[in-house]
Amino acid sequence: MPEYGRNVLRMVDQLREIPDRAKRTEQAYAVVKVMELLNPQVHSQENYAHKLWDHLYMIAGYDLDVDSPWPCPVAEEFTTDPVPIPMKGSKIKAFHYGRNIESIINLICEQPEGEVKTELIRSLAIYMRQQYLIWNKDSVADETIFADIEKLSGGRIRVPEGISLSKIAGDANFSRPGMGINVGQPGSQRNKQRKNFKRSYKKK
């Protein structure tokens, strides 16, 4: 257990070699105290003393004969495979739109025909266009987005004729998730930002 370090491991190894059980138990309490000092954040946990003794047994390979306040834990309880997280069986039809788009399309399909449904389709198309431009930097025609909506809906949605999307501002920037604000900027611009930050820091 790396939070206790190699020296604690050596102490536990020496502890197991003590022939007298009473002396071995006395030294076990001392080792637990050292572990508590090395890992003070354990105090934020409930029953932290019990956990420390469990850790001692784990470091000893679950083979330590001492008179502890708690019995040795069962190794199988800590070595069992984690319960697998159930994943959706169906594949994502369009990765650049994501799975949530399919859920939204299914909800829109349930709406009755009318102005409300038309506005929902328009809002969906605007969002899908943004997602499209995140992963495909080229411009995209409205007709392409409309065709994707009808395709992803399996033909259940027909985009009304005459519907149009608002124009994209010329300075709009669609960044991929996780990209920093400086990604994609010229090196000179990033250096300028760093210099400005240093100047403001020195003034303080």
Mean predicted confidence (pLDDT) in 72-81: 77
The one-character DSSP state at 12 is H
The dihedral region occupied by 54, where left means phi > 0, alpha psi between -120 and 50, and beta the remainder, is alpha
Residue type, 31: V
Mean pLDDT estimate for the chain: 80
**91 or 204, greater pLDDT:** 91
| Per-residue pLDDT tens digits for 171-204 | 566 555 554 444 444 445 555 555 554 454 444 4
Residues 6+ apart with CB under 8 A from 155: none
- What is the distance between the alpha carbons of residues 37 and 167, in angstroms, rounded to a whole number? 62
Mean pLDDT, range 25-52, rounded to an integer: 90
* Pick from 110, 155, 104: nearest CA to 126: 104
Q: Considering the chain, what percentage of its residues have pLDDT values greater than 90? A: 31
Indicate the pTM of the whole model: 0.43
Tell me what pLDDT residue 4 has.
85
* pLDDT given at position 193: 53
CA 164 to chain centre: 37
Q: Are 73 and 62 in contact (CB under 8 A)?
A: yes
Give yes or no for residue 8 having a pLDDT over 70: yes
CA distances from 161 to 40, 118, 130, 147, 197 (A): 67, 10, 21, 12, 52
Q: Pick the more confident residue, 204 or 50.
A: 50
Q: Give the model confidence (pLDDT) of 112-167 as tens digits.
A: 999 999 999 999 999 888 888 887 767 788 898 999 999 988 889 999 888 888 77
b or e along 62-92 (b: 16 or more beta carbons within 10 Å of the residue's beta carbon)?
eebebebeeebbeeeeeeeeeeeeeeeeeee
pLDDT of 169: 61
